[in-house]
Amino acid sequence: MPKRQKKRYQSLPLNIGQPDIETPPSILDAVKHSDFKVLEYSHSAGNESYRKKLVEYYRKVGIDVTPEQIIVTTGGSEAILFGFMACMDAGDEVIIPEPFYANYNGFAVEAGVIVKPITSSIENGFALPPISAFEEAITPKTKAIVICNPNNPTGYLYSKEEMEVLKQVIVKHNLYLFADEAYREFFYEGTFTSAMHLKGVDDHVVLMDTISKRYSACGGRIGAFVTKNTALLNSVMKFAQARLSPPSFAQILGEAAIDLPDNYFDTTKAEYKLRRDIIVQRLNAMPGVFCPNPGGAFYAIAKLPIDDSDKFCQWLLEEFSYNNATVMLAPATGFYSTPGLGKQEVRLAYVLNATAIHAAMDCLEKALQQYHFK
């Protein structure tokens, strides 16, 4: 007997932060039309021409740095890993508000660093935990605090007041503040406060950056490690030299991106805001579902009337369909370090167009009506 083929459905992927926004053609053209005889190693800190252009970019967002205070990295991931390895010894601790970007765990394991989570709550939209929570988590082995602003996976946008709270903590306890600002451009209400806007803490602050989400260029693998701490830069430079150099073509792409018109992000932000408004409205209209309104990035976390988000998300893919489609979600358990948290929560990345998001929400609404706890 021939094996029965399982019916395939269209999957609507809201589980991963891969934007569908078109990469600007002009920056792709810069790579296509690059003219050189030898594809050489760049400087280990990155091409000087690119670092000088980055200074122009940072100046536009109120960050005053020099080319010597920037080390170009292979994606934002390498910037984070360099920070962990340069600032901490094996067995040292880093505090991260949870839920947090799951790969921080991987970078910590690589560096032999221990993650100490402090939990934020969906009930208040994942605001920064109180200063007392940080104080309780700090030990003699604590060396740094990590934030992602705007946040992945919650979409939360930290306020200026919350950033000042973090400043108090790092000064009092002589800690580093690692700021992952991959989604800097994408905030929808209020204002964005960079860690590098904080005054009087230059030696404490490390900015981890990337072009991946900013210009919808995730495959370029170009990021930046930025700090005014000279001793730390010298230490990180050793890691940069050990891996030789960051990718050359993507530096050409990143350099061209700085010359995009100042209003480039207006359309992209408006599109993401539209998608956010649709997804939040649709989710909160479903019985038993709660989704706080995220202030930035392109993620939202929703609490669903389920018992186990891992099982639910697997069931969606293996057993459920509506209108010949199903929806892919990320169980929030993967974004918590504390065991048992996130069981009723999922992360949704609103990286599909409005029509596809409505179709995905139709699927989810029907799925919640049919799902029985496994």
Asked if 205 and 233 touch (Cβ cutoff 8 Å), the reply is no
Pairing of the two strands 93-98 and 114-119 = parallel
In a domain, 86, yes or no: yes
- The reported pLDDT for the residue numbered 2 is 45
**CATH for 173:** 3.40.640.10
Same domain for 212 and 357:
no
pLDDT along the chain (374 residues), means of 10: 55 95 97 94 97 98 98 98 98 98 96 98 97 97 98 98 98 98 96 98 98 96 98 98 97 97 95 98 98 98 97 96 96 97 98 97 97 72
Domain limits at 284?
A: 10-21+264-370
Q: Are residues 219 and 275 in the same domain?
A: no
Its pTM stands at: 0.95
Together in a domain, 303 and 321: yes
Predicted local distance difference test score (pLDDT) of residue 110 = 96
For the chain, strand residue ranges (E) read 10-13, 70-73, 93-98, 114-119, 142-148, 176-180, 205-210, 223-226, 299-303, 325-328, 330-331, 345-349
Q: Do 72 and 195 belong to one domain?
A: yes
- Separation between Cα atoms, residue 9 and residue 195, nearest integer Å: 44
What letter does residue 37 receive in the DSSP assignment?
A: S
Q: What is the pLDDT of residue 8?
A: 66
- Residue 372 has what pLDDT? 80
Predicted local distance difference test score (pLDDT) of residue 253: 97
Tell me the CA distances in angstroms from 188 to 100, 191, 198, 245, 355, one per residue in order.
21, 8, 21, 36, 21
